[in-house]
Amino acid sequence: MDSRVELWIDGHRDELIAAVQKLISYKSIDDGKPLPGAPFGVACHDALACMLDICGGFGMDTQDMEGYIGYAECGEGEEMLGILSHLDVVPADSGWRHDPFGGEIVDGKIVGRGALDDKGPAVASVFALAAVKAAGYDFRRRVRLIFGCDEEKNMRCLHHYTEHAEMPSLAFSPDASYPLVNSEKNIFHARYTVAFPSKITLRAGTVVNAVPALAVATLPFDEAAVQKAVEACGPIPGVTFAAEKTESGTKITATGEAAHASTPELGHNALQGLLLLVNQLPLTGVDKQVVSMLAGALGMEYDGASLGLQAKDESGALTFNLGLMDWNSEGASFSVDIRAPFSVGEKMILEKLDLAFHLARRADYRFSEGYYLPEDAELVRT
């Protein structure tokens, strides 16, 4: 690293840390309450405004695109290098040992939702560009830092940008593993529903692209029946159960460990574990059929093996995550996230899931084709 750049970064270390902590403090989750200039809610708007203020303080030209997305730019040239990051985060569940929006420093690390995905890297890109700018380098291209606010849900931020702003000549995102990732698998999300009068409730998950760390069911059985089911189910690695008597029966809480859906092996799916337990109870009718369908098709797997989807190629191995469940007196709804290697396409996934979830109706789905950037491409070589 150029000594001028290194000295500048060292001299602004405290400022960089404070900027990350400030951004973490915003609960920038789409709250479903759009406002003019804040389509994803006030917190996302405020996080974007904060970031653009930081960039403006370094002499960059900034633009807020109606709260969907914003950017900061410096340099000259016809071509543009885009650096894409996002300021929205997924909800924080109850498993945090520290305030997820506190930005506390623990053992030399900043702890908080978005510290890694993607507020910390977004701030790092701002300070890196400011350091290069302060060192007096000439730019062969304009550099545009682009900050989205809906990456975790529907990418409406990026859709808005592509419709209303100049596209970069080349781009990368500081939202992956070090040193770089030059390919991404196909991404598939689907929601299934089944309508019927049910005697149980079961809820789990906050977003489909996260392994649920908590799942809760209320069932019309006494604690003795639940204990018998626990014994029949046997231990499930990484998942624990707690039972509590209620007026209508017993509430069971399953606790696992959260992880991103792209790396489900790093977590323990509380929802899948709870389904295995509930499947040991003497359910009847459609309740029993649906629980048995899901427990039998999924178990605790995260590779899609029992679905007939297990696959691996040069782009990686297929991963599966049952991320959301909402089961009430009128039926059940559940959502899945699949990251599929290039060899597994949209048609195959749909066929296998529809077959496995044959009692349910596919309400909607989304398939995003993956990409591969050759190793000799300019950005990869750089």
pLDDT given at position 99 = 97
pLDDT score, position 380: 87
Query: Position of tokens 């040193």?
Result: 179
The neighbour count for residue 288, using CB atoms within 10 Å, is 14
From the first residue on, what is the mean pLDDT of each consecutive set of 10 residues in the chain (382 residues)? 91 98 98 96 98 98 98 95 97 87 97 96 98 93 98 94 97 88 94 98 95 97 94 96 94 95 97 98 98 98 98 94 98 98 96 98 96 87 78
DSSP-assigned letter for residue 95? T
Q: Could you tell me if 362 and 354 are in contact, meaning their C-beta atoms sit under 8 angstroms apart?
A: yes
Span 186-371 CATH architecture: 2-Layer Sandwich (3.30)
pLDDT at position 179 is 86
- Determine the 3-state secondary structure of 110 from DSSP: strand
> Looking at residue 378, what is its pLDDT?
86
pLDDT value at residue 266: 97
As a whole number of angstroms, the distance between CA 46 and CA 57 comes to 16
- What secondary structure does DSSP assign to 221-258, as a single string? S-HHHHHHHHHHH--BTTBEEEEEEETTEEEEEEE-B-
Question: What are 310-331's pLDDT values in tens digits?
Answer: 999 988 999 999 999 999 999 9
Residue 93 is predicted with a pLDDT of: 78
Task: Kindly report the backbone phi and psi dihedral angles of residue 19, in degrees, each rounded to the nearest multiple of 5, phi listed first.
Answer: -65, -40
Cβ count within 10 A of residue 215: 27
Q: What phi, psi does 264 have (nearest 5°)?
A: -65, -20
Q: Of 184, 188, 187, which is closest to residue 353 (Cα–Cα)? A: 188
- CA-to-CA separations, 82 to 75, 79, 320, 376, in angstroms, rounded: 12, 10, 31, 19
The boundaries of every CATH 3.30.70.360 domain in the chain are: 186-371
Residues in the chain: 382
214 neighbors 94 (Cβ within 8 angstroms):
yes
Q: Are 178 and 320 in contact (CB under 8 A)?
A: no
Q: Give start and end residues of each alpha helix (H) in 155-313.
A: 156-164, 223-233, 270-278, 285-298
- What would the DSSP string read from start to end of 26-78? S-----S--BTTBTT-HHHHHHHHHHHHHHHHTT-EEEEETTTEEEEEE--SS
pLDDT at 178: 81
What pLDDT, in 10s, does the model give residues 234-265? 999 999 999 999 998 999 999 999 999 999 99
Given the DSSP bridges, would you call strands 249-255 and 319-328 parallel, antiparallel or unpaired? unpaired
Determine the Cα–Cα distance for residues 14 and 10; give it in Å rounded to an integer: 9
pLDDT confidence of residue 377: 87
CA distances (Å), 75 to each of 129, 140, 324, in order? 10, 8, 44
pLDDT for 92: 87
- CATH 3.40.630.10 positions along the chain are 3-175
- Domain 3-175 fold is Aminopeptidase (3.40.630)
